[in-house]
Amino acid sequence: MNVSLLILSEPYSSQSSLSALKYAKAAIEAGHGITRVFFYNNGVHTGSSIQTPQQDEINVQQEWKSLALEHKLDLVICIAAALKRGNLTLDEANRYDREQYNIEAPFELSGLGQLLDAQLNSDQMITFA
């Protein structure tokens, strides 16, 4: 079975972001495919490379990054939601004449069309709010 995940919450404001990460790991271990992980609303903060959680906390951004690199996951951050929350890639920083950026590969910025594509090409879409 192929699933896609929609993550709506900030990485450290509730348990749902960490639950999404644990779900993804369990799904992969069970042999399921993950079509796409889409970060929307405040979930876009998950891709920020400037997060600095306490040493005794899980670094959610790094965990997603490692999982994506190991299993070639598609981590997509909604571009509109990201930009208005100050989350930019180098390309977007250049486009808007900003000096700083905080979104790096394997996270990528894209539009809501990627969410629709994930829904169409997955057996299930699981939302973590």
Q: What's the total number of domains in the chain?
A: 1
State what percent of residues in the chain have pLDDT above 70. Answer: 100
- Mean pLDDT for the stretch of residues 62-79: 98
And the tokens for 123? 């057996």
Given a contact cutoff of 8 angstroms between Cβ atoms, the answer to whether 47 and 88 are in contact is: no
43-70 residue pLDDT tens = 999 999 999 999 999 999 999 999 999 9
89 falls within a domain: yes
Is 97 part of any domain?
yes
What is the total residue count of the chain? Answer: 129
For residue 113, name the pLDDT band (cuts at 50, 70, 90).
very high
Residue 109 lies in a domain: yes
The side-by-side arrangement of strands in the sheet containing 2-7 is 107-110, 75-78, 33-39, 2-7, 124-128
Give the torsion through C-alpha atoms of 81, 83, 87, 92, to 10 deg. Answer: 130
Residue 119 three-state SS: helix
Q: pTM here?
A: 0.96
Write phi, then psi, for 71 (nearest 5 degrees): -115, 10
* 14 belongs to a structural domain: yes
129 assigned to some structural domain: no
The answer to whether residue 43 is domain-embedded is yes
Out of 34, 44, 78, 115, the active site residue is 78
What is the domain extent for residue 59? 2-124
* CATH number of the domain within which 80 lies: 3.40.1260.10
- Tell me 10's DSSP state: -
The pLDDT value given to residue 26: 98
Query: Can 78 be counted among the known catalytic residues?
Result: yes
118 lies in a domain? yes
B/e letters for 114-126, b = 16+ CB within 10 Å, e = fewer, are bbebbeeebeebe
